[in-house]
Chain A
Amino acid sequence: MFEIFGIPSNALFGQLLIGLINGSFYALLSLGLAVIFGMLNIINFSHGAQYMLGAFAAYLLLQYSGLGYWPALIVAPVLVGITGMIVERLMLQWLYKLDHLYGLLLTFGLALIFEGLTRNYFGSAGLPYTLPDSLRGGQNLGFMFLPIYRGWVVIFSLIVCIGTWYLIERTRLGAYLRAATENPTLVRAFGINVPRMITLTYGLGVGLAALAGVLSAPINQVRPLMGENVIIVVFAVVVIGGMGSIMGSIITGFALGVIEGLTKYFYPEASNTVVFVLMVLVLLVKPTGLTGRAA
């Protein structure tokens, strides 16, 4: 154990780790938002609620069907992703030709419905989610104590983020997706089913949010309003990073999480506001966002 600025390193690295974990949630969520916006032209305001639904799905799977953490990591995002696709088919698909604001308003309404319903049935208090034995405990790294689960969340999120980046930027499917984002009519003319791709894209984005929710369940507990604040921070992340680039979303998400963690350590009073303050600064200096392209 050593000291930095007269404060034990354990606390600093602890906050840094929490920052990295929040950063991985921001990255997963802003990634999904960016992918959805690219294909659907909709800002998915229910993204935070779907993150919460992911956590609830994991909780319910454990309570009622005995499916533990590992299966839930796949089943919960798939389930929530399917509900997302149903929502897209029933509602969102009618909005693509309208002004962006209607998509925002509709998904805001959906978020209210999801959060209201879960509060009705589960109350506002947090429900604990127990971890499997294999992820309990921790490792003393010398300069800090690393709980295994927290390390796992950071590494796994990073893998998922990079996997999504690879899927979109480096595979044939991703090429179709990017092409359909640029010019859907032309891509349809080539015989590709663009409406189905849009549905799957929304499912993917929502699934990523739900995955973040499952990852966060053991750390932050399962609460109906767990997504309410997160989504606003993620909006700020998106404003800072811009939605033009997948890698940009990932890096901005992680970076802001780390900055938030460091603020919690050096000046705790500002930890809730630092991301918003940074957003203001970025808007003043470089209004188009860090990754450049205009809205």
Chain B
Amino acid sequence: MTAMTDDSIPVTPRAIHDEMIAFGIMAALLLVVPLTGIYPFFVMQALCFALLACAFNLLIGYGGLLSFGHAMFLGTAGYCTAHALKVWGVSPELGILVGTAGAAALAVITGLVAIRRQGIYFAMITLALSQLLFFIYLQAPFTHGEDGIQGIPQGRLFGVFNLANPTILYYVILAGFLFGFLVIFRTINSPFGEVLKAIRENEPRAISLGYKTDQYKLLAYILSGTLAGLAGALKVFVAQNASLTDVEVAMSGQIVLMTLVGGLGTVFGPVVGAFIIVAMQQYLSGLGQWVTVIQGAVFVVCVLTFRRGIIGEVAHYFRRSL
């Protein structure tokens, strides 16, 4: 991982201080969104993808593991939550729990397989596993194949908050996002996170220091998959459907793109990247297939000229860690 971290800035107490301030600004901005008249649906969707990209970034940016199948957690959690809400008729909080637990279980199973190979093979294995899951969901009766699960009731969270109200739903989604974000933030600044970074930089050395690196990687993978699942469960309340597009390879590619644009291995990069890519889809949706071409071009340009991503460049310019 030498290439990615050539210019990384050591985390100092000052750096954490910077990140706290940035977090405060981000939270404040997101809190006032409903007052500004911005279309809340767009921001809610972007928040779900932001959490998803942050979870993905935990694995690649801090663990050095490129997962090309993170859509499987999004889709699995989505199907589990949607099924629980619609067929079992459970309450929203339980629905979110079911979806997140489903993604966590999937992360344990796939993690035990994927962790067995390193580097580029890990990417290919996660990609293949997500494709395996895609075909299973395509054929499984409870997902309703091509149609997906539609018309999902939103219900009342804890029996009090009516999620059919866009403003209430917005704050619930925001709470979920901030919770997931803080879990990731706490993780990367913990001793566990430091060991992960050590493994990313030099795995043989970490092993020789006595760390069981496979266990650390598996744990990071499970945590990442679970939080991606939380994003998928929350997204069900926004989109009110769960469909195959959430499990597709293209979705996994978009998660990678969001993180790359924002900045791999930065704390806030995936959030910025997610907002940019979701906005791009929203505004360019009239262009049809050109969106795919543009996304491909963004990949190429980012890799060739802009590997630090937006937040990475900003952080580099100000010599700060963000």
Residues of A within 8 A of B (CB): 37, 43, 91, 94-95, 97-102, 104-106, 108-117, 119-120, 228-229, 232-233, 235-236, 238-239, 269, 272-273, 276-277, 279-280, 283-284, 287, 295
Contacts and interface: CB of A to CB of B under 8 A. Distances in A.
A109 to B, nearest CB: 3
Given A112-B292, A236-B124, A100 B119 contact: yes
A104 B299 contact: no
B113 A102 contact: no
A97 B136 CA distance: 39
B125 interface: yes
B300 A106 contact: yes
A273 B119 CA distance: 24
B281 interface: no
Nearest to B294: A116
Contact of B299 (A98, A108, A119, A236): A108
Contact of A295 (B119, B136, B303): B119
List of 6 A-B pairs having minimum Cβ-Cβ separation, nearest first = A109-B299, A112-B296, A116-B292, A113-B296, A116-B293, A276-B132
A280 B129 contact: yes
A104 B123 contact: yes
**Main SS class of interface, A:** helix
Contacts of A238: 124
Interface of B: 1-4, 60, 66, 68, 113-114, 116-121, 123-125, 127-129, 131-132, 135-136, 138-139, 249, 253, 256, 260, 288-293, 295-300, 302-304, 307
B116 A232 contact: no
A237 to B, nearest CB: 9
B289 A102 contact: no
A99 B66 CA distance: 11
A95 B289 CA distance: 28
A228 B249 contact: yes
B132 A277 contact: yes
Given A101-B123, A105-B303, A109-B297, A232 B131 contact: yes
A284 B112 CA distance: 9
Nearest to A114: B296
B3 A109 contact: no
Given A101-B120, A119-B292, A295-B117, A239 B125 contact: yes
B135 A295 contact: no
Given A104-B123, A105-B299, 13 more contacts: A101-B123, A106-B299, A108-B256, A109-B295, A109-B300, A112-B292, A113-B297, A116-B290, A120-B293, A232-B128, A235-B128, A276-B128, A276-B135
A99 B118 CA distance: 13
Contacts of A232: 127-128, 131, 249
B289 A119 contact: yes
Contacts of B132: 273, 276-277, 280
Contacts of B139: 269
Contacts of B2: 99
Contact of A116 (B124, B260, B289): B289
Contacts of B124: 43, 235-236, 238-239
Contact of A283 (B116, B138, B256): B116
A98 to B, nearest CB: 4
Contact of B307 (A102, A229, A235, A295): A102
17 contacts: A37-B120, A95-B303, A98-B307, A102-B3, A108-B296, A108-B299, A109-B297, A109-B300, A112-B293, A112-B299, A113-B293, A116-B290, A228-B249, A236-B128, A239-B124, A272-B135, A283-B116
B304 A91 contact: yes
Given A94-B304, A106-B299, A235-B127, A273 B136 contact: yes
A104 B120 contact: yes
A111 B116 CA distance: 28
A232 to B, nearest CB: 5
Contacts of A233: 128, 131
A109 B303 contact: yes
B288 A120 contact: yes
A80 B235 CA distance: 41
A106 B307 CA distance: 11
Contacts of B60: 101
Contact of B117 (A236, A276, A287): A287
Contacts of B129: 276, 280
Given A91-B300, A239-B117, A287-B116, A105 B260 contact: yes
Contacts of A91: 300, 304
Contact of B113 (A110, A114, A228, A283): A283
Given A43-B120, A97-B3, A108 B128 contact: no
Contact of B253 (A112, A236, A295): A112
Contacts of A287: 116-117
B120 A284 contact: no
B256 to A, nearest CB: 7
A280 B113 contact: yes
Nearest to B293: A116
B300 A115 contact: no
